[in-house]
Every structure is written in structure tokens, then in C-alpha cells.
Chains A and B, each alone.
Chain A
Amino acid sequence: MSERKKLLMRLQATQFAAWELHMFLDTHPCDRTANEMFRKYTDEAKMLKTEFEKKYGPLTVSSSYEASWLNDPWPWEHQGSCD
């Protein structure tokens, strides 16, 4: 697996954990453990996202237009095991 794909998967997993907790907090807004975990995963995801974007270009629309926004692969494109 390529370094890019490995880092992307770590980011996806961390963001997913944060997302799942966010949804849990919608119906349990005062749950302290969930709040702490949400903060932990959100911070971690923020760091991973910064690292990924520095190496491989923007994941979201950024304040200055970066040409690498247009770079392949787009998310739906097949990324073979050698990528």
C-alpha cells in the first residue's frame, strides 16, 4: 500500500471515530466521556488532515486556489494495490 493511501486511511478512520461520536452527542449532549473522546479524535483528525494536505494537496476548498486540487486520484477512482 502506498504511503498516501496509508495516511488517507488513518485520516478516514480517525475522522470516522469523531463523526460517530458527534452523532452520538446529538442524542447524548451531556455525556462527558463521549465529549472527551470527541475532542481527542477531532484534534487527532485535524493533525492528520494537515499532514495529508501538506504532502498530497488540499482535501477541502482552501482560501488560496491550489492547482493540486485538480490532481488525481479523485475519491471514486480505483486505486490499485500498487498505488
Chain B
Amino acid sequence: MFMYEKKLQYPVNIKNPNPKLAQIIITQYGGPDGELGASLRYLSQRFAMPYPELKGLLTDIGTEELGHLEMIGAIVYQLTRNLSLEEIKKSGFDTYFVDHTTGIYPVAASGYPYTAAQFQSKGDVITDLHEDLAAEQKARTTYDNILRLVDDPDVRDPIKFLREREIVHYQRFGEGLRLATDKMDSKNFYAINPAFDCTKPNKRR
């Protein structure tokens, strides 16, 4: 189960609202490489994972991504405080505003709503871990692109923190992949899928 802690993983304190930035950054809330997809990917993949280290890792990282989702929500929320209609029209935020006012809704920067079609839970150890490694790099690139577009240090600071987390998670998943392959047939990792082919405990390596 999950329990809530009434604090962010890393502080978000943005002095100056900026609806244009909000519309860009919301992509990490509900976009193709965003935190919602990341969390659902890892927390869903856990169930098929046969190795304890990987169950632990997917649980920890999937949980942390929920904390990141909350941070992105806080950034977007703070960037859209006290907006005038003039600012909304001028910034291009009007296309989001018409559907959601300043409520937080999971969409990509393009306006495309969140969809689980953008991630996989394949039920295959090697496949899922490669998906996870790629996911961390895709999110890292998105944060790099956000940093290219943002000057405000109040916004850059938590975005830089989130970018670093992608790199740390990538590192851990790399170790996880090595741990998994160590337990598999070294001549042919694909000989069996340990998430499906040997479900009897005494047959597990």
C-alpha cells in the first residue's frame, strides 16, 4: 500500500508565475516521457519480476516517480498563480485554460492527453529493463530540453534535481540488468524468460 507524506521530495518555491513555462513543463506530468507514465511503468512491471533485487528497485523507483509527479504538479501550479486574462491570452496558455482553467491535468506540451499507450509492461525481464533504461534517458533528454527553454532559477533548480534523478535511476537499472543477466544463461539470455518459463520456485536459478 501507499501512505502520503505531507511534503515534497525537493522544495519548489517559484516567485514569478509564467504560463508559457507551465505549458511546456506539464509535459513531464502527462507527456510521453513524463513522471506519471514512469511511475505506472515501474509499479506495474514489478508484478512479473522474479528477482528480489529488481522487485525492490522497481518499487523504490516507481514510488519516487510519484513524488516527482507531485513536484511537477507543484511547479505547474505555482507557475499559473494569479494570472490575468491578458497574460493567459498573450502567452498561448489560453488553449489549456479553456479546458482546465488552472487545474492540473495530465497532458503533453502538445495538449495530447496522458495515455498508457506510451509505455510497456512486457512481462519479460530483459525487455522490461531495457524499456526502463530507455525511459530514464528519454526523461533526461526532456529535462535537458526544458532547461534549454527556461531561464528562471526558481524553476531551473527543481528541474535540475529531477534531471539528476533520471541519471541515478539509469545507473541503478543498469546494475539491475547486470544482476538479472548474471542469474540467466550466460550463453543465451533469451533461452528462457524467467518471468514466465520457470514459475516453480525450485526451478528458479
A59 and B5 within 8 A (CB): yes
The minimal Cβ–Cβ distance linking A40 to chain B, given in whole angstroms, is 19
Q: Please encode chain B, from 29 to 60, with 1 for each CB lying within 8 Å of some chain A CB and 0 for all others.
A: 00000000000000000000000010011001
B61 and A23 within 8 A (CB): yes
Q: Which chain A residues numbered 32 to 49 have a C-beta less than 8 Å away from chain B? A: none
What CA separation (Å) do A24 and B168 show in the bound complex?
A: 9
What CA separation (Å) do A67 and B64 show in the bound complex?
A: 28
What CA separation (Å) do A33 and B179 show in the bound complex?
A: 20
A75 and B8 within 8 A (CB): yes
Chain A residues with Cβ below 8 Å from B4 are 60-61
Interface residues contributed by chain B, number (CB under 8 Å): 30
B81 and A76 within 8 A (CB): no
A76 and B53 within 8 A (CB): no
Chain A residues with Cβ below 8 Å from B176 are 26-27
Q: A27-B176, A79-B13 are in contact. Are A19 and B64 (CB under 8 A)?
A: yes
Chain B residues with Cβ below 8 Å from A17 are none
Chain B residues with Cβ below 8 Å from A80 are 13, 15
Chain A residues with Cβ below 8 Å from B70 are 75-76
Q: How large is the interface on A (under 10, 10 to 19, 20 to 34, 35 or more residues)?
A: 20 to 34
What CA separation (Å) do A81 and B5 show in the bound complex?
A: 23
B113 touches A (CB below 8 Å) = no
A12 touches B (CB below 8 Å) = yes
The minimal Cβ–Cβ distance linking A54 to chain B, given in whole angstroms, is 15
Cβ-closest chain B residue relative to A58: B6
A75 and B172 within 8 A (CB): no
What CA separation (Å) do A75 and B56 show in the bound complex?
A: 27
Cβ-closest chain B residue relative to A29: B53
B57 and A76 within 8 A (CB): no
Q: Please encode chain B, from 66 to 91, with 1 for each CB lying within 8 Å of some chain A CB and 0 for all others.
A: 00001001100110010000000000
CB within 8 Å of A: which residues of B? Answer: 3-15, 53, 56-57, 60-61, 64, 70, 73-74, 77-78, 81, 168, 172, 175-176, 179
A-B contact pairs, 11 of them (CB 8 A): A5-B11, A9-B11, A19-B60, A23-B60, A23-B172, A59-B6, A61-B3, A75-B7, A76-B78, A78-B81, A81-B13
CB within 8 Å of B: which residues of A? Answer: 5, 8-9, 11-12, 16, 19-20, 22-24, 26-29, 58-61, 69, 74-76, 78-81
Given A58-B6, A75-B6, 18 more A-B residue pairs with CB atoms under 8 Å apart are A5-B11, A8-B7, A12-B7, A22-B60, A23-B60, A23-B172, A26-B53, A26-B57, A26-B176, A27-B57, A27-B175, A27-B179, A60-B3, A75-B74, A78-B13, A78-B81, A80-B13, A80-B15
